[in-house]
Structure 1
Amino acid sequence: MTERTFVMVKPDGVQRGLVGEIVGRLEDRGLKMVGGKLMQIDRDLAEEHYGEHEDKPFFDDLVGFITSGPVMAMVWEGQDAVQQVRTMMGETDPAESAPGTIRGDFGLDLGRNVIHGSDTEPGSNEREIDLFFDEAELIHYERVDEQWLYE
C-alpha cells in the first residue's frame, strides 16, 4: 500500500552533516521525497508535536532539544512507507539499534538519536505531516524508476 510518512533529521543530525546520507538511504530504499524543508521549530510547534509526552518527566528536554537548532523536515512516499522508515531508523535507543540502521550507524545517545519518523499508530503519519506541511508544499510526481520498484 502506497502511503506517506513524516521524517525529521533532528538538530544533532543536521549539525553533524547527516542530512544527505539519510536522504540517500531513503532514496536507495525506493522511497520518494514529496516534501522537504530546513526549518527552525518554535516552542509551540514542538509542544504540539510531542504532546503525547506532555506529562512525562523528559518532555521539557525533548522540546528544548528539538528547538535547539535547525531540523530537516520531510515527507516520504512509497509502499508501506511508515514501516519501511521505522525499520531503517532502528530502535529509539541507538545502543539497541542494529548496525545498518540509521540510529545504529549514527546515533550515540538516547537523547541524540539523529532522526524522527512517524510511528505505526494509525493516523500518526497524517497528523505529523499536517503539523509541518501545508498540502500545497507537497509535490505529486512519478519517479522514472517506479516501474522497477513495484509490481
Structure 2
Amino acid sequence: MERTYVMLKPDAIKRKLAGQIIARIEAKGYKIIDLKVINLKEKILREHYAHVANESFYPKMEDYMMSGPVWAMIVEGENVVQGIRILMGATKFENALPGTIRGDFASSTTENLIHGSDSPENAEIEIKRFFG
C-alpha cells in the first residue's frame, strides 16, 4: 500500500469543511491511518515550502499557514499520491475543475484548503517531517 501526506489548511478548518473533505477522501476508498492537529511554526514552514520561500508571495502564504491549526494526515491506499492529487484539483483555484475539492470550495490560490504530496518520495519526506 502506498502512503501520502495530506494537510487540511487553516481555511478548511475555519470554514468547517474538514468533514466534507475527509468524507471525499474516505469515499474514494483511502484510509486515514494517522491524523493530528498542529499549529505550524516558521521553521517547519520554511522547510516544507523551501522551493518557494524566496518568492514574493511567500510571506503572505506563511502568515496564512500560521493563522490557525492544520490537520496533518497520513493517508494510505492504492496509487494514493496520484489519487489525492486528482481529488484536490489544480493548485490555482481558478483552474480547479468542479467536482474537485479546490474546484468546489477554494476561495483563492493561497487559501486553497488542502495540500497533498506530489510524489511517493516526497510523501515519505513530508510524513517524516510532520510525524517524526
Provide TM-score, normalisation by structure 1. Answer: 0.84
Offset, 1:51: 1.1
2:124 matches 1:123: no
Aligned ranges for residues 43-122 of structure 1 at < 5 Å? 43-120=42-119
Q: Indicate conservation of the 8 Å contact 1:50/1:63, yes or no.
A: no
Offset, 1:55: 2.1
Which of structures 1 and 2 has the larger relative contact order (alpha carbons within 8 angstroms, sep 6+)?
2
Corresponding letter in the other structure for 1:58? F
Corresponding letter in the other structure for 1:29? K
Which residue pairs with 1:29 in the alignment?
Answer: 28
What is the rounded CA distance, in whole Å, between the counterparts of 1:98 and 1:38 in structure 2? 28
Corresponding letter in the other structure for 1:73? A
Q: Name the count of aligned residue pairs.
A: 132
SS of structure 1 residue aligned to 2:13? helix
Deviations 1:61-80 (A, max 9, x none): 22111111111110100000
RMSD: 1.0
Offset, 1:103: 0.2
Offset, 1:110: 0.9
What is the rounded CA distance, in whole Å, between the counterparts of 2:67 and 2:107 in structure 1? 18
Q: Quick one: which of 129, 132, 139 aligns to 2:130?
A: 132
Corresponding letter in the other structure for 1:60? P
Q: Identify unmatched segments of 5+ residues in structure 1.
A: 135-151
* % identical equivalent positions: 42
What is the rounded CA distance, in whole Å, between the counterparts of 1:74 and 1:117 in structure 2? 10
What is the rounded CA distance, in whole Å, between the counterparts of 1:56 and 1:3 in structure 2? 32
What is the rounded CA distance, in whole Å, between the counterparts of 1:126 and 1:61 in structure 2? 27
SS of structure 1 residue aligned to 2:5? strand
Offset, 1:97: 0.8
Task: Indicate the structure (1 or 2) with the bigger Cα radius of gyration.
Answer: 1
Provide TM-score, normalisation by structure 2. Answer: 0.95
